[in-house]
Amino acid sequence: MPQGKEKKTHGILALAGLEPYQEKQGEEYMNDAQRAHFRRILEEWRRQLRQEVDRTVHHMKDEAANFPDPVDRAAQEEEFSIELRTRDRERKLIKKIEKTLQKIEDDDFGFCDSCGIEIGIRRLEARPTADLCVDCKTLAEMKEKQMTGA
């Protein structure tokens, strides 16, 4: 690679230690190699989230103390509350990852649930659990804004 032209990998791909998928000329969309690529991304993401859950459990067990000072006790309770909310979001994300892994197994991954077109490799690398194409997602967000008045 020419000097100063290093490839940078961001987000989930970087977390999984993977490079962006390089499509080959005339390659069929969501072939075995592409599905395997996304399976690796999702499995690594799920593994890392599960590690975070385990770390939180150990942290809360190790740090749990009955502070005599009400301010210290309140600070610890708030810290634990924030951690638990974060873990709850991650638990929901793990379920979504598992649902997406099942879609890969069922050969139903990579296509918009609304209109059926290809979601696209780059979009899926940025958000592997995406189940709508950009246009349908944009439309859904606009409808949601209209319904909530935001």
Q: Is residue 34 situated within a structural domain?
A: yes
Q: Is residue 6 situated within a structural domain?
A: no
Q: What is the CATH number of the domain that holds 77?
A: 1.20.120.910
> pLDDT digits over 35-58, tens only?
999 999 999 999 999 998 888 877
> What pLDDT, on a 0 to 100 scale, did the predictor assign at position 66?
72
> What pLDDT, on a 0 to 100 scale, did the predictor assign at position 7?
47
Q: Is the pLDDT of residue 63 over 90?
A: no
Closest CA to 133 of 107, 110, 112, 108: 112
Rounded to an integer, the average pLDDT of 55-74 is: 78
Q: Is residue 44 situated within a structural domain?
A: yes
CA distances from 48 to 17, 92, 113 (A): 12, 14, 27
Q: Using CA atoms, how far apart are residues 112 and 120, in angstroms rounded to an integer?
A: 10
> What pLDDT, on a 0 to 100 scale, did the predictor assign at position 10?
59
* Longest Cα–Cα distance in the chain: 69
According to the annotation, is 16 in a ligand binding site? no
Decide if 96 contacts 114 (C-beta within 8 A).
no
Q: Using CA atoms, how far apart are residues 14 and 65, in angstroms rounded to an integer?
A: 37
Q: Is residue 47 situated within a structural domain?
A: yes
Q: Which domain holds residue 45?
A: 11-19+29-111+120-131
Kindly state the DSSP code that residue 20 receives in the 8-state scheme. P
Q: Is residue 145 situated within a structural domain?
A: no
Q: Is the pLDDT of residue 16 over 80?
A: no
Q: Using CA atoms, how far apart are residues 11 and 53, in angstroms rounded to an integer?
A: 20
The number of domains in the chain is: 1
According to the annotation, is 108 in a ligand binding site? no
Greater model confidence, 2 or 71:
71
Q: Is the pLDDT of residue 4 over 60?
A: no
- Which of 17-21, 40-44, 128-132, 134-138 is least confident? 17-21
Q: Is residue 2 situated within a structural domain?
A: no
Q: Using CA atoms, how far apart are residues 49 and 120, in angstroms rounded to an integer?
A: 25
According to the annotation, is 112 in a ligand binding site? yes
Q: Is residue 106 situated within a structural domain?
A: yes
> pLDDT digits over 94-118, tens only?
999 999 999 999 999 999 999 999 9
According to the annotation, is 64 in a ligand binding site? no
Decide if 124 contacts 130 (C-beta within 8 A).
yes
What does pTM read for this prediction?
A: 0.79
Q: Is residue 61 situated within a structural domain?
A: yes
Q: 3-class SS at 118?
A: strand
The span from the first CA to the last CA of the chain, in angstroms, equals 47
> What pLDDT, on a 0 to 100 scale, did the predictor assign at position 144?
94
